[in-house]
Amino acid sequence: MRIEIQDLHFSYPGGVEALKGVSLVVNTGEKVAIVGQNGAGKTTLVKHLNGLLLPTKGTVRIGDWDTKDYPVARLSSRVGYVFQNPDEQLFNKTVYQEVAFGPRNLGYPAEKVAELVKNAMALTELTGKENVNPYDLMPTWRKMVAMASILAMDTPIVVLDEPTTGQDAASIERIAHCVQVLHQQGKTVITITHDVDFCAENFERIIVMGGGRILLDGPAIEVLAQEEILATTYVEPPQLTRLGNRLDFPHPVRNEEEFLDMYRQLHRQRDRA
């Protein structure tokens, strides 16, 4: 399902102009990461996708729906939004109730709800924790409950706000796996993140925000090479990307595998010369 944002401006009551003319198209099935300094407007932008915020000026379209014409409850069937802080999202007494809440609310029959919950719990590795109170879980697992409760709604678009913040390596791996599976299912995944390694490893397109505007938008590899522009919004490319740039690699690399490939290739060329 296509997302189309045109000249979006948004001011919070009290006057902060958080978005200053953002235009953006995200096509069905894209995997997009949004990065940028604190206060850049990332969360404000994604809260427009399910109508939690409405434009001060400009338009946001989700498929054929203009968000200003549909209530959040309807938009939630198209856009699932996992909050940065799970504690803002969770309110049921058991993990099962929490994960079932969304699909029940969308009016699915009991059998379908049960299947959606089962799949979401399996994907987030929560199976077996059905009867636990989410608040008795470690924060890393609470995050998984927050993820599962959105995944169970089976929306064509999934938005994750800072999914890896405060998570350990195992949890980050689980989140990356969820992103992968959602992508394979043909869903659109949009993630806000400060974690450039997570971003470089898992996302094909990167949008860089600063001061309420989009500074860069393109393939991960090209965006991560723009060190100077990234620095203006306090984003550092992954360490291996920077090292490759310092070593004058002919094109940027994103991770260990690409770094080693390029290194070996350059070595072979040198040996032949």
Residues 23-62 contacting ligand ATP, CB under 6 A: 36, 38-44
For residue 41, the partner it binds in Mg ion, ligand ATP, none, with Cβ less than 5 to 8 A by kind, is ligand ATP
Q: State how far Cα 41 lies from the chain centre.
A: 14
Exposure on the CB side of residue 35, measured as CA atoms within 13 A: 29
18 binds ligand ATP, rule: CB under 6 A: yes
Alpha-carbon span 4 to 36, nearest angstrom: 21
Nearer to ligand ATP, 14 or 128 (CB): 14
Q: State the residues that interact with Mg ion by CB under 5 A.
A: 43
Beta bridge partners, 159, equal 81, 190
Helix (H, G, I), strand (E, B) or coil at 44: helix
Residue number, 43 or 171, with CB nearest to Mg ion: 43
The tokens describing 223, both together, are 């965006």
Distance CA 163, CA 31 (A): 14
Residue of minimal Cβ distance to Mg ion: 43
**d(C-alpha 202, C-alpha 34), whole Å:** 12
Of 43 and 164, nearer to Mg ion (C-beta) is 43
138 binds ligand ATP (CB under 6 A): no
38 binds, among Mg ion, ligand ATP, none (CB under 5 to 8 A by kind): ligand ATP
Binding site partner of 104, from ligand ATP, Mg ion, none, Cβ cut-off 5-8 A by kind: none
Pair of tokens at residue 14: 């009290």
The pair of structure tokens assigned to 230 is: 């990234």
Q: Which residue has the tokens 């064509």?
A: 156
Residue 14 makes contact with ligand ATP by CB under 6 A: yes
Instruction: Name which of 83 and 141 has its Cβ closer to Mg ion.
Output: 83
How many residues bind to ligand ATP according to rule CB under 6 A?
12
Residues that bind ligand ATP (CB under 6 A): 12, 14, 16, 18, 36, 38-44
